[in-house]
Amino acid sequence: MKSFQRALTVATLLALCTIAFSTAFAQSGNQRSDAEVSFDRLKTLAGTWQGKVTLDPPMQGMGNTAMQVSLRVTSRGNALVHEMKEAGSPDDPAKYDHPVTMFYLDSDRLLLTHYCDAGNRPRMVARSAEGKVVEFDFLDVAGGTGHGHMYHAVFTPIDSNHHIEDWTYMMPGDKPMHAHMELERAK
C-alpha cells in the first residue's frame, strides 16, 4: 500500500510540474531570446570539422596547419562541447594542444568558457545575434594570464557542411593574435 501511495504522490508531483512548466512557457509567448536562438544556431554545428588555420600576425612554425574541430551537444541539450586539435596529432592532451570550450545558457545570456592550454579559463558572452554570425566578447578570466589568454571568438555558419571560426588570443603585453579557420564537415 505504501508503494502505491508513493507512486501516486510522485505521479501527482510530476503532473503538477508539467502543468507549471507548460503554463510558464505559454505565458512567455513562446518568444525565444537572442541567446537561445544563438545557442540553437551553434548546436547545428555538432559534428567533426577539418580545415586549415591561418594566423595574423604569422608565427614561425605555426599557421596553415590542418586542424580538427569537434562539437558535441551534451547534458540534454544544455551544453555544447567544442574541442580543437592539430589534425593527425595523437589524442594525448597532456602532450599536445587540445583546448576545450563549453557553451551554455546562463539566464538570458549565452556564455562560453574556454579551458585553455595556457592554464586559464576565459569566459565570453555572446552579443545579440545578427544574421547567422554568433560573436563572443571577453567577460573575465580565471587563472594566470602570463602566457596570454583567449579574448574573442566569432562563429559564422555558411551552410550545413561549412563554417568559419575566428579566435583572438591576447598575447603577453596585450598583443592580439588572430586565428582564422575555414572548416568543412568531415566525411
| 178 Cβ contact partners less than 8 Å away, ≥ 6 residues apart | 55, 56, 166, 167, 168, 169
Read off φ and ψ for residue 13, nearest 5 degrees.
-65, -40
Question: Of 8, 41, 66, which is closest to residue 157 (Cα–Cα)?
Answer: 41
CA distance 168 to 153: 6
Confidence (pLDDT) at 132: 86
* Regions in the chain scoring below 50 on pLDDT: 4, 7-27
Confidence (pLDDT) at 94: 73
For the chain, what are the domain ranges?
1-31, 32-185
Confidence (pLDDT) at 64: 77
Confidence (pLDDT) at 84: 94
- Asked if 112 and 153 touch (Cβ cutoff 8 Å), the reply is yes
Confidence (pLDDT) at 16: 40
What's the pTM?
0.81
| 157 Cβ contact partners less than 8 Å away, ≥ 6 residues apart | 41, 44, 45, 132, 163
CATH number of 32-185: 2.40.128.20
Confidence (pLDDT) at 140: 97
